[in-house]
């Protein structure tokens, strides 16, 4: 079945596919946003029209994620990568230790940045099995009095995902870049949640930070403005000009997800979507080999290998010819990766699964 606007199924790990309805709205608004006579891209961030856009984005996100009172919502630049640095700069004091749970590439980058600031303890590392698993939260050896414990709720490259919120006696900091908004969560279990937008929320160029006020209060009194959570919070993410258009698109995505039934509904669809692809892997008699252990298979990034590099290349090129692109896996895992973020339609996953079954039957 042909997609609207000649669009194809884009399994990119990020920037990732967006809801077609959001893009249609953006197109309609593009030259003249709702009678303002200008594009959102041209709008003063201090204007009433833009204030409404950013305020609604925050309110919709609070509703969607169930963010309780006592948490600040920030939209910052620099992506999750700048957060890797800002977190220890702000919350890892001298003489303190921060615990890091390393389940893949992004966790490794996070602890590297922490090591540039102070003492970071690697309390879990799945390197020995090439990052195909996650630990039980209950089994972690936390450092007594740790400044915080950091983990990555979903590792985009390896495709391993924690299936529950942690309940830990130290402040929990979580990089949710690649599975935020994909399922309900209990924000009260976290001191700080952050996520680059470009997988489940919108275009690249903004990072979301949700931070508990008592944790935020531990940040230093004065630091460089663009590295200062406190200043950004006091200025409603507008200490300087924010990435206005990017936040506007995120806001449209939030409204879209609310209209679709919120995170519970998204989770049900995401389980179904990932289910059909994992089923194609599991029913292939070993032709497709999954990377992640069964209990931590990501609903967002499905990683698997084929019997040979040649078959992998053929698979990717034949899939492309069928209108399914960006299926090549990261070199650290090899093989293929299908990113099935919120905005990937069920039909995309079904089409991929059918293609996989036919490919295995032909080449197995």
Residue 245 among the catalytic residues: no
172 pairs with which residues across the strands?
Answer: 149
The residue whose two tokens read 């709008």 is 43
CB atoms within 10 A of CB 271: 12
Which of these, 304, 301, 310, lies nearest to 335 by C-alpha position?
304
Nearer to a second copy, 270 or 339 (CB): 339
Contacts of 98 (CB under 8 A, 6+ apart): 88, 91, 92, 114, 118, 119, 120, 121, 146, 147, 148, 149, 150
The least CB distance from residue 162 to a second copy, in Å, is 23
- Contact between 37 and a second copy by CB under 8 A: the answer reads yes
The residue count for binding a second copy (CB under 8 A) is: 69
CB 341 within 8 A of CB 161: no
Q: Which stretch binds a second copy (CB under 8 A): 73-81, 123-131, 181-189, 209-217?
A: 73-81
CB 300 within 8 A of CB 182: yes
The least CB distance from residue 18 to a second copy, in Å, is 5
Pick from 77, 115, 119, 235 the residue near a second copy by CB under 8 A.
77
The least CB distance from residue 298 to a second copy, in Å, is 18
Strands in the chain per DSSP E: 9-10, 71-76, 97-102, 119-125, 148-152, 154-155, 160-161, 172-175, 192-196, 207-212, 289-290, 301-305, 324-325, 336-339
Nearer to a second copy, 246 or 312 (CB): 246
- Contact between 39 and a second copy by CB under 8 A: the answer reads yes
Q: Which of residues 232-261 bind a second copy (CB under 8 A)?
A: 239-246, 249
* Distance of alpha carbon 28 from alpha carbon 16, whole angstroms: 21
The least CB distance from residue 158 to a second copy, in Å, is 18
Q: Which stretch binds a second copy (CB under 8 A): 29-37, 129-137, 178-186, 290-298?
A: 29-37
Q: Which of residues 189-208 bind a second copy (CB under 8 A)?
A: 196, 198, 202-206
- Contact between 301 and a second copy by CB under 8 A: the answer reads no
CB atoms within 10 A of CB 247: 25
Residue 106 among the catalytic residues: yes
Which residues are near a second copy by CB under 8 A? 3-8, 10, 12-18, 20, 23-24, 26-27, 30-32, 35-39, 41-45, 47, 77-82, 84-85, 89, 113, 116, 196, 198, 202-206, 222-227, 239-246, 249, 323, 325-326
What residues act catalytically? 106, 175, 199
């Amino acid at each position: 079945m042909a997609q609207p606007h000649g669009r194809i199924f884009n399994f990119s790990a990020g920037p990732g596919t967006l809801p077609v309805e959001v893009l249609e709205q953006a197109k309609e608004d593009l030259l003249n946003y709702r009678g303002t006579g200008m594009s959102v891209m041209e709008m003063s961030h201090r204007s009433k029209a833009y204030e409404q856009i950013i305020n609604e984005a925050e309110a919709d996100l609070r509703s969607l994620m169930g963010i309780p009172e006592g948490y600040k919502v920030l939209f910052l630049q620099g992506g999750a990568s700048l957060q890797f640095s800002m977190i220890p700069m702000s919350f890892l004091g001298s003489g303190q230790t921060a615990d890091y749970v390393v389940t893949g590439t992004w966790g490794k980058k996070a602890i590297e940045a922490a090591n540039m600031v102070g003492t970071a303890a690697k309390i879990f590392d799945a390197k020995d099995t090439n990052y195909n698993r996650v630990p039980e939260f209950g089994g972690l050896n936390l450092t007594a009095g740790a400044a915080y414990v950091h983990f990555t709720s979903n590792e985009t490259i390896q495709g391993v995902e924690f299936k529950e919120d942690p309940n830990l006696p130290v402040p929990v900091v979580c990089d949710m870049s690649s599975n935020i908004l994909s399922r309900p969560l209990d924000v009260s279990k976290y001191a700080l949640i952050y996520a680059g937008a470009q997988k489940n929320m919108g275009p690249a160029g903004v990072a979301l930070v949700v931070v508990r006020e008592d944790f935020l209060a531990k940040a230093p009194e004065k630091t460089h403005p663009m590295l200062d959570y406190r200043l950004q919070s006091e200025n409603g993410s507008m200490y300087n000009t924010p990435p206005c258009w990017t936040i506007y698109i995120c806001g449209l995505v939030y409204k879209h997800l609310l209209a679709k039934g919120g995170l519970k509904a998204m989770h049900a669809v995401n389980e179904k979507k990932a289910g059909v692809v994992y089923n194609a892997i599991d029913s292939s008699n070993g032709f497709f080999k999954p990377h992640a252990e069964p209990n931590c298979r990501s609903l967002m990034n499905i990683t698997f290998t084929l019997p040979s590099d040649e078959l992998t290349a053929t698979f990717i090129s034949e899939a492309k010819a069928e209108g399914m692109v960006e299926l090549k896996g990261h070199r650290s895992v090899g093989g293929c990766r299908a990113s099935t973020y919120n905005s990937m339609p069920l039909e995309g996953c079904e089409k991929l699964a059918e293609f996989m079954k036919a490919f295995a039957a032909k080449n197995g």
